[in-house]
Structure 1
Amino acid sequence: MLSSSFRAPIAALFVPGDRPERFAKAAASGADTVVLDLEDGVAPAARDVARRSVALHGIQSVPVIIRINAAASEAFEGDLIALRAARFDGLMLAKAETAADIQRVHDLLGYQVPVIALVETANAFIDLAGLLQAPGVVQAALGALDLALDLGCQPSWGALAYCRGALVLQSRLAGLPPPLDGIATRFDDPEAVHHEALMAAGLGFGGKLAIHPRQVLPIKQAFVPDAQAIAWARAALKACDSGAVVQLDGEMIDRPLIERARRILARAINTGDCAV
């Protein structure tokens, strides 16, 4: 279940763990969470340097999540040993597949820690419900590129439609916040990033992972309600004060749409983008 101290991010920005000179810049980028990476973003030869840098990251202004290597990897245990005295708000487990993987994280740290389960292998879908309901799991995230590689398909929306839908559904059934969508590979095309983020939001994702500061704003704009959505939500609630089914601009407004309007305004308030 969701940790009371964990706040699900909208735009979580990855930073290689062996580039400490980028840590402060990432924290000041507008991202609502910084993900310090000990996995794909770090060459094996730089792993020890990365662990030391991440353990002493010094970021105070935004939450810090640390991505650690997969439970089946040789680097997994070393990552957790290096982080036992580090300050962080949660861990992201690469290639999370089973509840046992999550338990090993807690066991090696010596205490239960909030974990974002990064789902990026076919094996994770054998018992996705069990994985996401494991003690300590606070959110799921999609590793679309690695998942597509494992499945032997293109990392397209059509090819991964089932996997995205399953992740949204099982997150809901586990009582977790909506999952994070995987990265957009283009960082020099804000419109493309925004489009991908809008598609993810429409599927029920709650945010998206970023690999460059230029991606942060397009992602946030896709998931934070805009002025038009806020105006519609206010009008819908005002029209439905009686509790009856009414019409608004030719659209029937009944209980599901009333609840959607409430959620839009709540999300706008929680992200600090409007005063309702």
Structure 2
Amino acid sequence: MSPLETSLAFCTNFLFVPGTRSDRFLKALNSGASGVIIDLEDAVGPNDKETARTQLREAWGTFSAAQKKQLVIRINAPGTKYYGADLSLAQEIYAPCLLIPKSESLDQINGVAQILPNTAIIPMIETALGLDRLKEIANAQQVLRLALGNLDLQADLGMVCDEQESELLTARFQLVFQSRVAEIAPPIDGVTTSTTDENRISADAARAKRMGFGGKLCIHPKQIGLVRQAFDPSSAEIEWAKRVIKADYESHGGAVKLDGRMIDRPVVILAQRTLNQAK
């Protein structure tokens, strides 16, 4: 199966779980999250990296084939002393998808693709250099979609953002824009640090959807339902999308009007994306 055929391309929410907490792996998979990220990076201290790899290795055989399709492994960043061992583990267990933090170059991504030819890759953009090289990263081999590391990007740029992270609107637009140009799945927005402020979580998720993101990272199970609610198409949106696809089919791809609105290729693409999310 091509990396671009994985259902992870259409997941609207991804829940992080620490790699050292194997007791939470199945809980995360059963939490209602459409994607689960087993984290070997930020959630694991320097002295616990090998423990996290061991726990992941031992747990991997207990996952069903369907569960493995939900899993993403966040390895440590390229250039760190943990990177090589993480890649070796990913190769050993045939990891279906890797989240690569602090992605900053085409060579980094293509290098991973050569080692893991059947693994989908999600580069995480969280540095100024990664943002500057966004186009080449989006077009690298086996890239499924991009992800925004909003907190690390703020720190790298020396930003002090307001509650709405208005200062990152340009960066968010660039991820959406370059994803569309590269013809990969819509990007994944970064985290909301609050796990209790439902209004903030919902507002952040709604902003992400309006801007063209296809999903959002979650740090707590409480966030999943709110993020899903923001991204999942309504019944009216699904019905509209079906009508658009039908009108496009009947016109053999030519321009046609529906409810007084011109249906051209961008509208058809949006309708298809809505139906993919509904699945």
**Same-fold status (TM-score > 0.5):** yes
Give the deviation of 1:148 after TM superposition.
0.6
SS in 2 for 1:138: coil
Pair 260,59 (structure 1): closer, same or farther in 2 beyond 3 Å: farther
Pair 137,259 (structure 1): closer, same or farther in 2 beyond 3 Å: closer
Amino acid at match of 1:69: N
Are residue 151 (structure 1) and residue 153 (structure 2) matched? Answer: no
Cα distance in 1, alignment partners of residues 201 and 49 from structure 2: 30
Q: Report the identity percentage.
A: 33
SS in 1 for 2:73: strand
Counterpart selection for 1:44 from 43, 46, 68: 46
Contact 1:23 1:59 survives alignment (8 Å):
no
Q: Residue 65 of structure 1 aligns with which residue? A: 72
- After TM superposition, the structure 1 = structure 2 runs for residues 181-260 of structure 1, keeping only pairs within 5 Å, are 181-233=189-241, 245=257, 248=259, 252-256=260-264, 260=267
Are residue 120 (structure 1) and residue 126 (structure 2) matched? Answer: yes
Give the deviation of 1:214 after TM superposition.
1.1
SS in 1 for 2:91: coil
Contact 2:121 2:144 survives alignment (8 Å):
yes
Cα distance in 2, alignment partners of residues 239 and 264 from structure 1: 11
Amino acid at match of 2:32: G
The Cα RMSD (Å) is 2.6
Cα distance in 1, alignment partners of residues 133 and 277 from structure 2: 32
Q: Residue 5 of structure 1 aligns with which residue? A: 5
SS in 2 for 1:171: helix
Counterpart selection for 2:91 from 70, 73, 84: 84
SS in 2 for 1:15: strand
1:190-235 per-residue CA deviation (whole Å, 9 max, x = no partner) reads 3321221110000000000111111111111111111343355567
Pair 49,39 (structure 1): closer, same or farther in 2 beyond 3 Å: same
Pair 263,103 (structure 1): closer, same or farther in 2 beyond 3 Å: closer
Give the deviation of 1:267 after TM superposition.
2.7
Pair 224,47 (structure 1): closer, same or farther in 2 beyond 3 Å: same
Cα distance in 2, alignment partners of residues 52 and 19 from structure 1: 11
Pair 72,197 (structure 1): closer, same or farther in 2 beyond 3 Å: same
- After TM superposition, the structure 1 = structure 2 runs for residues 130-149 of structure 1, keeping only pairs within 5 Å, are 130-149=136-155
1:216-261 per-residue CA deviation (whole Å, 9 max, x = no partner) reads 1111111111134335556778999897546x5xxx52225x9647
Pair 229,76 (structure 1): closer, same or farther in 2 beyond 3 Å: same
Question: How many residues are aligned here?
Answer: 265
Amino acid at match of 1:182: G
Give the deviation of 1:106 after TM superposition.
3.5
Pair 186,133 (structure 1): closer, same or farther in 2 beyond 3 Å: same
Contact 1:15 1:36 survives alignment (8 Å):
yes
Give TM-score, length-normalised by structure 2.
Answer: 0.85
Contact 2:232 2:277 survives alignment (8 Å):
no
1:45-86 per-residue CA deviation (whole Å, 9 max, x = no partner) reads 111110111223333343211001111212111211233211
Cα distance in 1, alignment partners of residues 4 and 241 from structure 2: 27
The answer to which of 86-95 and 229-238 deviates more is 229-238
Amino acid at match of 1:118: M
Structure 2 alignment gaps of length 5 or more: none
Cα distance in 1, alignment partners of residues 55 and 19 from structure 2: 7
Structure 1 alignment gaps of length 5 or more: none
